[in-house]
């Protein structure tokens, strides 16, 4: 398989780009691929925290671009999975510290070393996004089933297409089946109808995402929640595997039944 640079983007903030980037990076690495997760959110870095690698960051990719260190000095190897690396962003610089041409060169160098380069883009459509997308081969657009997020995703897909980045595939994050059922949340079909791009995964709302973020341990390291399975499926689809989509309704019912079982176990 050809090495790929995949930009994870959304337009709107807070929809789960960094969580998605971390989880699919871990899952791909666990499947044996050599993966680097690049935090392209210069000045507001988070990916190191979500991946639990913040203590080991010494250099960042601005240091690489400015020639202060070699690429392999800035890469942080994840000790939990040998083939997983993080290339952190600079926290004390701004988006202007790098330009698209430099990002293209960086991506070319990373593709020589890695099977997958997962580029975690900042929110917005300005310079930060332009830099993150500059060297990308494919786009992973993350949205939530809200009209504001969907409109922003539409904008970002248009921009990715104008940058000749294809295919762009969609992750619909934080879906709450009971709200969809009650007509209070957009259905997956509604989102797809507007955005007209291929769906790569639907991730249910899951409280374990918050605890995993705070503990610096992405779900795909071993959690068995519904969101974990959804992220793992997305990672497998990125490798070209055909994986059926989760039945969120069924999962929801199963969780309800298992919850009832627990209650009855305690009451015995």
Q: Which residues of 42-55 are buried (b: 16+ CB within 10 A; e: fewer)?
A: beebbbbebbbbbe
- Binding mask 90-109 toward another protein (x if CB under 8 A, else -) reads ----------x---------
Site residues (CB under 8 A) for another protein, limited to 2-21: none
Q: Which is nearer to another protein, 135 or 177 (CB)?
A: 135
Near another protein by CB under 8 A: residue from 194, 199, 243, 251: 194
The tokens describing 51, both together, are 């991946």
- Binding mask 120-139 toward another protein (x if CB under 8 A, else -) reads -----x--------x-----
Instruction: Give the interface size with another protein as a residue count (CB under 8 A).
Output: 17
- Binding mask 143-182 toward another protein (x if CB under 8 A, else -) reads ----x---xx-xx-xxx-xxxx------------------
User: Which whole-number Å values give the CA distances from 5 to 169, 219, 224, in the listed order?
Assistant: 14, 22, 28
Can you tell me the distance from the alpha carbon of 8 to that of 141, in angstroms, rounded to the nearest whole number? 6
Q: Minimal distance in Å, beta carbon 211 to another protein? A: 34
Site residues (CB under 8 A) for another protein, limited to 196-225: 196
User: Which whole-number Å values give the CA distances from 259 to 210, 252, 262, 267, in the listed order?
Assistant: 20, 10, 5, 13
Can you tell me the distance from the alpha carbon of 51 to that of 66, in angstroms, rounded to the nearest whole number? 25
Can you tell me the distance from the alpha carbon of 128 to that of 118, in angstroms, rounded to the nearest whole number? 15
Q: Minimal distance in Å, beta carbon 158 to another protein? A: 3
Report the candidate in 203, 187, 192, 127 with the shortest Cα–Cα distance to residue 157. Answer: 192
Radius of gyration for the chain, computed over Cα atoms and rounded to the nearest angstrom: 18
Q: Minimal distance in Å, beta carbon 152 to another protein? A: 7
Q: Which is nearer to another protein, 183 or 240 (CB)?
A: 183
Q: Minimal distance in Å, beta carbon 192 to another protein? A: 13
The residue ranges that bind another protein (CB under 8 A) are: 100, 125, 134, 147, 151-152, 154-155, 157-159, 161-164, 194, 196
């Amino acid at each position: 398989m050809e090495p790929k640079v995949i930009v994870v983007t959304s337009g709107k903030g807070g929809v789960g780009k960094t969580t998605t980037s971390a989880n699919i990076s871990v899952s791909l690495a666990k499947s044996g691929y050599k993966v680097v997760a690049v935090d392209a959110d210069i000045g507001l870095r988070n990916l190191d925290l979500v991946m639990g690698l913040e203590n080991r960051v010494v250099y960042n990719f601005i240091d690489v671009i400015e020639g202060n260190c070699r690429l392999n000095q800035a890469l942080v190897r994840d000790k939990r999975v040998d083939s997983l690396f993080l290339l952190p962003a600079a926290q004390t610089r701004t988006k202007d510290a790098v330009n698209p041409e430099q990002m293209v060169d960086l991506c070319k160098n990373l593709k020589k070393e890695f099977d997958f380069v997962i580029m975690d883009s900042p929110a917005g459509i300005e310079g930060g996004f332009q830099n993150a997308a500059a060297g990308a081969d494919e786009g992973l657009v993350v949205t939530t089933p809200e009209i504001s997020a969907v409109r922003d995703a539409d904008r970002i897909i248009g921009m990715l297409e104008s940058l000749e980045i294809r295919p762009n595939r969609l992750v619909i994050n934080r879906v709450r089946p009971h709200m969809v059922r009650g007509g209070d949340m957009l259905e997956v079909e509604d989102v797809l109808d507007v955005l007209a791009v291929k769906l790569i995964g639907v991730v249910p709302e899951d409280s374990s995402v918050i605890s995993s973020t705070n503990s610096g341990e992405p779900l795909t390291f071993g959690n068995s929640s519904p969101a974990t399975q959804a992220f793992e499926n997305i990672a497998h689809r990125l490798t070209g595997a055909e994986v059926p989509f989760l039945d969120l309704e069924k999962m929801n019912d199963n969780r309800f039944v298992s919850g009832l079982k627990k209650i009855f176990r305690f009451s015995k």
